[in-house]
Structures are given as C-alpha cells and as structure tokens.
C-alpha cells in the first residue's frame, strides 16, 4: 500500500503533481527544499512572497522560475527571480525566510542581482 496513510508527508509531497501541498504537510509550515519541485514555483509566478530576516521583511514578486540545464545531484535544478517592484536599493545577500501561503516557509540563500527596469531583482538557485 502506498500513499500518505502509510508513507507520511514526504510521500504525499512526491505524489502531489504540482508539489503545492508539501509545506502544509509539515509541522509549522516549513517545507524541506528537496521536497519542493520546480512546478511548485512555476505555479506561483506573478504572486507575492515575503523575504524576512529577523524583524525586517520585504514583499517581492516571484517574477521568473526557470529550469537549469547544468548537471546537478538534484533531479531538477532550477532558479527563481524575485523582484521588489519600484525598488532602487537592494537587500543584503544572505539567508532569508521566504514565506508563501501555499509553499509555507523556506529558508533560502538570496543573492541580489540588480535592477531590471521594474525593480530590484534577487536570485535563488536550487541545485
């Protein structure tokens, strides 16, 4: 017998086609990075996520989700671009809790990559 009843939350995440229930299957809403597939980010392009560090946060748009073609131990390496619309100064590079209602809270390394004409952009790579 396979499925959530026998194999728990990790199996439920693998079985979910879009991977959108992964964080909800975890206590506290924190998702494991290896259980959040590219499709989960692709599904929320254009939506707002919150980058938080301590008491400070900024709301950013998930502007792009793109697969990477380089060899990687991860089954599906990819990157996402977050955009702080209208911003001209960037937040610092480093670890942030990235919050989304569906994905939950992910602790991710965020790199500022500069403006794109609409705002300041940040890159997160999953490899």
Instruction: Answer whether residue 1 shows pLDDT above 60.
Output: no
Give the helix ranges, DSSP H, for 17-104.
38-42
Instruction: Answer whether residue 51 shows pLDDT above 70.
Output: yes
Q: What is the mean pLDDT of residues 6-16?
A: 37
Find the domain containing 32 and state its range.
4-126
Number of domains in the chain: 1
Does the reported pTM lie above 0.85? Answer: no
Query: Residue 119's pLDDT is what?
Result: 96
Partners of residue 120 on adjacent β-strands: 84, 115
Query: Residue 98's pLDDT is what?
Result: 96
The half-sphere exposure of 122 on its side-chain side, counting CA atoms within 13 A, is: 28
Partners of residue 114 on adjacent β-strands: 121
- Look up residue 21 and give its two tokens: 């229930």
Q: What is the mean pLDDT of residues 11-19?
A: 38
Summarize pLDDT for 67-120 with one digit per residue, the tens.
Answer: 998 776 657 889 999 999 998 889 999 999 999 999 999 999 999 999 999 999
């Amino acid at each position: 017998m396979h499925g959530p009843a026998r194999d728990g939350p990790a199996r439920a995440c693998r079985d979910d086609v879009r991977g959108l229930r992964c964080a909800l299957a975890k206590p506290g809403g924190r998702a494991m990075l290896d259980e959040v597939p590219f499709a989960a980010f692709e599904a929320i392009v254009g939506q707002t996520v919150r980058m938080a560090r301590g008491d400070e946060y900024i709301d950013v748009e998930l502007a792009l989700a793109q697969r990477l073609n380089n060899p990687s131990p991860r089954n599906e390496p990819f990157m996402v671009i977050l955009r702080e619309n209208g911003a001209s100064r960037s937040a610092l590079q480093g670890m942030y809790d990235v919050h989304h209602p569906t994905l939950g809270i992910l602790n991710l390394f965020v790199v500022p990559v500069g403006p794109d004409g609409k705002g300041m952009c940040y890159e997160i790579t999953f490899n």
